[in-house]
């Protein structure tokens, strides 16, 4: 249950009607930076992005790689419980080690950020592309194009997405799991964006400036990309920001269930899954990736909420 | 001299502004209405006329600051606690709003919405009695087939019929004073005339006092005894309706009068009022 | 009404057939060797051969699909002669790993999942609507902020993390609750309640958060409506204005979303049941994923889709009852 479509419905219900030439200018951006919630959220996201980008460097600094087993750090007589308190955390292993294997948790968190961010951001890029293009096509051309696209959207949105993703991922042979995750998440994700884009395109297409462009002989492609797309900018920014946490959660959830990223590649969801058997003995094993995951989802949600408040010209409730 | 039904003295309404200051939307307004009398308040949107009516009803938006006196039959009701104001609202003063579609709750049958107004002030009334009153009120505003129509929902009525329902709600408790805020603005021209005729008829039959708020001088000319012309929260002219039309004192009133299209107009074009309201927050803006 | 239902039901059947086609395609057409996949992790060549024969994988795809559809309505047998297995209607598939028809496996465990789902739904509706109302009516106060911060955390914490935190704090550290156990209400009501309490909370938290935010936004919007002003102008008491005129319009969309969410709850039950070790359909599915028991996954997928499709129709019917403006029309 990591996909909550109803949350996006809330957005859609109050999605701002795009204004002609309403540029999200520097003013709102500055106000956003001054907002403490948004600044904290942005800061945390930046931290995780940097961590993901410079993972190899950071790991060299901390001393242990994500795939190295440290037998010295665990107690072989107690089924591999980390030696020392706090899951074996200390100067050597900053966040402690994995029970049973002795792998460094800090290194796996750092590399896990790579996996999570890469999958979530790729899925966001793909859903945005699909959602915007198909939404604009449906909204601008209407008629039969709209009918077909709308039926496909209805069909995809009518399903328990998580179970369908599991079905697809478990049926298909293990290949490049990351790519498959991105494709599957995007397949079920794009209609939520497309639906809003479609509605706004429909209303924009009636507006005077679009009429004017059409009267002056501009082609459909020019109108769609030059006149309509820029006016959808705020909506797209807000919706994609609010979609990212859903995708991060979905990736982690699928990995948690064992159909996502396969070991030994580290992923936060999968780390939490393997901590289930140890949670009463080594609580830090689930608490650390859990906290990183929670904060990342929270940060994107807060940032999306604030962006919505700042970019909306009408002042959203 | 008898006690006026409604007497407003030095009414000032202000809203706090983001900068920490405040903006007055109504300033030192005063007028009086004898029992059974009628008064028109005329002005452009933003002139503070709707705020004045909401102040009388005790329905000003949160944050509004109110000064001055509003006397209903001698009793000052300005700033009464909501609990006491509730007994007056809908019973002694009733109000008809501009847009009947959005002013009726789409989820309830119109009969119920009339009954509700009646029962709010007659706690011992039975449902049957309330239903009878509701149907009577609907008949009085000339809704055909009232007993059956009472079970219908607002979306099943036309604009004019909806406004009749709103008037029926107001009439159900036989109020002393009826405030009608732009009651015909959202309606077609022919329907407007019907609603105005209905209001005149009700006044003739029940003797209820009427405050009619409108931007349209043509509407007040045949409806009320006195007119208050408002501009930017202030009263610029207060006169009996006949004198206002024959001998307007203020330049703004003359401008408004000129903007009224007349059949005998020689210049074949519509005139507009140039003297716009100064830079004050408009009604409805918060 | 009858005509509407007929049109709607034929639409439902069409969608369900499409779902079957989609699922069938995923499991039998895209899969490189369905027999090997279905056999799962603990497999041997003989079993693979048996499965291949029983499923009729040598037949043309279209025949396979019609046999599959036929099984749903009339039941079917896998294979002939010795080693053949019966699968009564509605045949969602046969788990060769458990040697049991999937439908049977599901019905055995459905009561547990329904218990989890109903309890969670009650909890999230109460918490969500009350939280949202408090936020809307006390807008800008600490009550509002508190409720919205909790809702924000509810949206952000993955339910398996929340489940582990709860279990660690309440069971291991504080020992306020026992480990969840498989008891029925009749056996031991107290232990039953204690066992299901954490699953209910975990499953409800995220939904309650969404509902609180939605309720708050809707109530605030509705309070601005002109008809609420009319209600106040009638002199109605504040309580009546809110209950009658603000809540009904504000909660109608919440009610319809509730129908959809409840129908789609199987996805959430998957993780919750797995973490707490509750033996319902969710845990069965999670375990099937671990063993790669594909017939089970496929069967649950079909069932989940059927729930949602039927839930859609129910929601539409309920909506017409709740909102007088909506009339049933044949699209």
Q: How far is B275 from chain C (nearest CA, A)?
A: 30
Residue C243 structural domain: 102-322
Query: Based on the domain organization, do C111 and C259 belong to the same domain?
Result: yes
Contact at CB, C309 and A158, closer than 8 angstroms: yes
Q: What's the CA gap between A15 and C8, in Å, rounded?
A: 30
- Pull the structure tokens for residue C241: 């204005």
C249 touches chain B (CB under 8 A): yes
Residue B233, in any domain of the structure: yes
Contacts (Cβ under 8 Å, ≥6 apart) of C190: none
C257 touches chain A (CB under 8 A): yes
Q: What's the CA gap between B64 and B54, in Å, rounded?
A: 11
pLDDT above 90 for B179: yes
Q: Beta strand pairing status for B177-181 and B65-72?
A: unpaired
Query: Based on the domain organization, do C179 and C216 belong to the same domain?
Result: yes
Query: Based on the domain organization, do C124 and C214 belong to the same domain?
Result: yes
Residues of chain C short of pLDDT 50, as ranges, are 330-331
DSSP character at residue A263: T
- Pull the structure tokens for residue A281: 């003995």
Nearest to B138 by CA among B94, B172, B89: B172
Contact at CB, C160 and A168, closer than 8 angstroms: no
Tell me how far CA of residue C283 lies from CA of C110, C161, C276, C288, in angstroms.
11, 17, 9, 8
pLDDT in the model for residue C129: 92
pLDDT above 70 for B22: yes
Query: Based on the domain organization, do C76 and C150 belong to the same domain?
Result: no
- Determine the residue among C136, C227, C241 to mutate to test chain B binding: the one whose Cβ has the most chain B Cβ atoms within 10 Å: C227
Query: Based on the domain organization, do C144 and C48 belong to the same domain?
Result: no
Q: What pTM was estimated for this model as a whole?
A: 0.81
Phi and psi at residue B216, to the nearest 5° = -110, 105
Q: What's the CA gap between A124 and A132, in Å, rounded?
A: 12
C86 touches chain A (CB under 8 A): no
Query: Based on the domain organization, do C254 and C124 belong to the same domain?
Result: yes
* Last-in-domain residue among C23, C52, C87: C87
Q: Which chains touch C (3 or more CB pairs under 8 A)?
A: A, B
DSSP character at residue C173: I
Q: What's the CA gap between B14 and C263, in Å, rounded?
A: 51
- Pull the structure tokens for residue A118: 């890469």
Contact at CB, C323 and B106, closer than 8 angstroms: yes
Q: Comparing B96 with B282, which gets the higher pLDDT?
A: B96
* Ordered strands of the B177-181 beta sheet: B93-96, B177-181, B209-214, B38-42, B226-231, B234-240
Mean pLDDT of the B166-184 span: 90
At B14 the three-state DSSP class reads strand
- Determine the residue among A8, A38, A163 to mutate to test chain C binding: the one whose Cβ has the most chain C Cβ atoms within 10 Å: A163
Beta-strand runs (E) in chain C: 76-78, 85-87, 94-95, 100-101
Per-domain residue ranges of chain A: 6-53+108-311
**Stretch 138-197 of chain C: residues touching chain B, C-beta under 8 Å:** none
Residue B286, in any domain of the structure: no
Contacts (Cβ under 8 Å, ≥6 apart) of C44: none
pLDDT in the model for residue C40: 67
pLDDT in the model for residue A91: 63
Q: Comparing C51 with B72, which gets the higher pLDDT?
A: B72
CB B234 within 8 Å of CB B27:
yes
Contact at CB, C23 and A167, closer than 8 angstroms: yes
Residue B225, in any domain of the structure: yes
Residue B259, in any domain of the structure: yes
Look at domain A6-53+108-311 and name its CATH class. mainly alpha
Quickly count: other Cβ atoms within 10 Å of residue C105's Cβ: 24
Residue B283, in any domain of the structure: no
B55 touches chain C (CB under 8 A): no
Q: Which residue of C has its CA nearest to B168?
A: C234
Contact at CB, A170 and C294, closer than 8 angstroms: yes
Residue B18, in any domain of the structure: no
pLDDT in the model for residue B269: 53
Query: Based on the domain organization, do C64 and C109 belong to the same domain?
Result: no
Phi and psi at residue B249, to the nearest 5° = -85, -35
Q: Which residue of A has its CA nearest to C217?
A: A317
Query: Based on the domain organization, do C52 and C195 belong to the same domain?
Result: no
CA atoms within 13 A on the CB side of A101: 15
Residue B14, in any domain of the structure: no
Query: Based on the domain organization, do C33 and C172 belong to the same domain?
Result: no
pLDDT in the model for residue A20: 37
pLDDT in the model for residue A13: 42
pLDDT above 70 for B270: no
Strand partners, B14: B24, B65
Q: Split chain A (317 residues) into runs of 10 and give each run's mean pLDDT.
A: 40 40 51 78 88 78 68 65 64 67 77 86 92 90 87 81 84 77 89 88 82 80 83 84 85 84 80 78 80 88 82 45
C229 touches chain B (CB under 8 A): yes
Option in C160, C210, C297 nearest A256 (CB): C160
* Last-in-domain residue among C87, C114, C137: C87
- Pull the structure tokens for residue C51: 């499965």
Contact at CB, A7 and C155, closer than 8 angstroms: yes
Query: Based on the domain organization, do C199 and C318 belong to the same domain?
Result: yes
Residue C44, in any domain of the structure: yes
Instruction: Give the CATH number for residue C245.
Output: 1.10.3720.10
pLDDT in the model for residue C287: 87
pLDDT in the model for residue A208: 80
What is the count of structural domains for chain C?
A: 2
ipTM of the complex: 0.84
Residue B20, in any domain of the structure: no
- Pull the structure tokens for residue B125: 């009334």
pLDDT in the model for residue C130: 92
Q: How far is C30 from chain A (nearest CA, A)?
A: 7
Mean pLDDT of the B41-70 span: 87
Contact at CB, A280 and C271, closer than 8 angstroms: no
Contact at CB, A160 and C203, closer than 8 angstroms: no
Residue C249, in any domain of the structure: yes
Q: What's the CA gap between A52 and A130, in Å, rounded?
A: 26
Q: How far is A218 from chain C (nearest CA, A)?
A: 36
Residue B131 structural domain: 32-59+81-274
Mean pLDDT of the B228-247 span: 87
The percent of residues in chain B predicted with pLDDT above 90, rounded, is: 26
Phi and psi at residue B278, to the nearest 5° = -65, 180
Contact at CB, C217 and A13, closer than 8 angstroms: yes
Mean pLDDT of the B274-279 span: 46
pLDDT in the model for residue B239: 87
């Amino acid at each position: 249950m990591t996909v909550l479509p109803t949350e996006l419905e809330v957005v859609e219900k109050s999605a701002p009607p795009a204004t002609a030439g309403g540029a999200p200018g520097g003013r709102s951006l500055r106000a956003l930076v001054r907002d403490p919630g948004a600044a904290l959220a942005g800061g945390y996201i930046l931290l995780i992005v940097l961590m993901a980008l410079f993972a190899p460097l950071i790991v060299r600094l901390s001393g242990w790689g994500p795939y190295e087993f440290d037998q010295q750090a665990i107690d072989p007589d107690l089924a591999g419980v980390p030696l020392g308190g706090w899951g074996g955390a200390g100067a050597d292993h900053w966040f402690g080690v994995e029970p049973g294997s002795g792998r460094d948790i800090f290194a796996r968190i750092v590399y896990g950020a790579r996996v999570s961010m890469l999958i979530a951001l790729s899925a966001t890029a793909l859903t945005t592309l699909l959602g915007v293009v198909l939404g604009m096509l449906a909204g601008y051309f209407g008629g039969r194009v709209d009918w077909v696209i709308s039926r496909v959207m209805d069909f995809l949105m009518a399903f328990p997405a998580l179970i369908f993703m599991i079905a697809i991922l478990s049926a298909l042979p293990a290949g490049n799991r990351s790519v498959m995750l991105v494709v599957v998440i995007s397949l079920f994700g794009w209609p939520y964006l497309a639906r809003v884009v479609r509605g706004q395109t429909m209303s924009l297409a009636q507006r005077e400036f679009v009429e004017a462009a059409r009267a002056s002989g501009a082609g459909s492609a020019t109108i769609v990309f030059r006149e309509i797309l820029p006016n959808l900018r705020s909506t797209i920014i807000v919706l994609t920001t609010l979609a990212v946490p859903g995708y991060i959660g979905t990736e982690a959830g699928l990995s948690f269930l064992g159909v996502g990223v396969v070991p030994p590649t580290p992923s936060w969801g999968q780390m939490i899954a393997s901590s289930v058997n140890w949670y009463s003995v080594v609580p830090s094993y689930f608490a650390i990736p859990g906290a990183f995951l929670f904060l990342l989802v929270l940060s994107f949600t807060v940032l999306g909420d604030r962006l919505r408040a700042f970019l909306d010209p009408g002042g959203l409730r | 001299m008898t006690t006026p039904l409604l007497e407003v003295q030095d009414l000032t309404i202000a809203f706090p502004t983001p900068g920490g200051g405040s903006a007055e939307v109504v300033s030192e307004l005063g007028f009086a209405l004898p029992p059974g009398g009628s008064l028109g308040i005329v002005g452009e949107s933003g002139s503070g006329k709707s705020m004045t009516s909401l102040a009388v009803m005790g329905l000003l938006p949160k944050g509004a600051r109110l000064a001055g006196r509003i006397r209903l039959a001698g009793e000052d009701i300005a700033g009464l606690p909501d609990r006491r104001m509730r007994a007056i609202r809908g019973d002694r003063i009733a109000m008809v709003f501009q847009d009947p579609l959005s002013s009726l709750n789409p989820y309830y049958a119109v009969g119920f919405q009339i009954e509700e107004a009646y029962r709010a002030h007659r706690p011992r009334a039975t449902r049957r009695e309330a239903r009878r009153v509701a149907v009577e009120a609907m008949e009085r505003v000339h809704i055909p087939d009232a007993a059956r129509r009472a079970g219908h929902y607002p979306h099943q009525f036309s604009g004019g019929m909806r406004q009749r329902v709103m008037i029926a709600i107001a009439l159900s408790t036989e109020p002393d004073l009826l405030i009608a805020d732009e009651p015909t603005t959202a309606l077609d021209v022919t329907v407007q005339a019907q609603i105005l005729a209905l209001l005149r008829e009700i006044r003739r039959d029940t003797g209820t006092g009427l405050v009619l708020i409108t931007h349209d001088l043509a509407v007040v000319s045949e409806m009320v005894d006195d007119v208050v012309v408002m501009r930017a929260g202030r009263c610029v002219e207060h006169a009996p309706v006949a004198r206002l039309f024959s001998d307007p004192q203020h330049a703004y009133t003359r401008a408004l009068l000129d903007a009224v299209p007349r059949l005998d107009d020689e210049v074949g074009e519509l005139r507009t009022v140039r003297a716009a309201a100064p830079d004050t927050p408009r009604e409805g803006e918060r | 009404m009858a005509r509407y239902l007929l049109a709607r039901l034929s639409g439902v059947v069409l969608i369900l057939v499409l779902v079957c086609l989609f699922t069938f395609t995923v499991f039998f057409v895209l899969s490189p060797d369905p027999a090997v996949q279905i056999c799962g992790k603990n497999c041997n060549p003989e079993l693979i051969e048996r499965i291949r024969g029983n499923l009729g994988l040598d037949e043309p795809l279209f025949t396979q699909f019609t046999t599959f559809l036929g099984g749903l309505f009339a039941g079917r047998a896998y294979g002939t002669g010795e080693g053949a297995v019966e699968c009564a209607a509605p045949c969602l598939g046969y788990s060769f790993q458990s040697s049991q028809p999937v439908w049977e496996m599901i019905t055995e465990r459905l009561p547990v999942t329904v218990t989890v789902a109903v309890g969670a739904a009650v909890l999230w509706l109460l918490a969500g609507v009350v939280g949202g109302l408090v936020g809307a009516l006390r807008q800008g106060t600490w009550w509002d902020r508190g409720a919205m911060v909790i809702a924000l955390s509810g949206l952000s914490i993955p339910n398996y993390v929340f489940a582990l935190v709860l279990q660690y704090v309440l069971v291991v550290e504080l020992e306020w609750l026992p480990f969840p156990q498989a008891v029925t209400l009749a056996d031991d009501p107290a232990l039953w309640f204690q066992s299901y309490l954490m699953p209910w909370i975990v499953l409800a938290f995220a939904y309650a958060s969404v509902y609180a935010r939605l309720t708050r936004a809707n109530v605030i919007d509705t309070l601005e409506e002109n008809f609420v002003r009319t209600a106040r102008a009638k002199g109605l008491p504040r309580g009546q204005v809110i209950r009658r005129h603000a809540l009904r319009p504000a909660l109608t969309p919440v009610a319809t979303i509730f129908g959809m969410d409840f129908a789609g709850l199987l996805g959430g039950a998957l993780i919750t049941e797995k973490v707490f070790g509750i033996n319902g359909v969710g845990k069965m599915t999670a375990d099937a994923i671990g063993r790669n028991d594909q017939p089970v996954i496929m069967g649950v997928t079909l069932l989940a889709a059927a729930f949602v499709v039927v839930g859609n129709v129910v929601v539409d019917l309920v909506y017409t009852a709740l909102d007088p403006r909506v009339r049933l029309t044949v699209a």
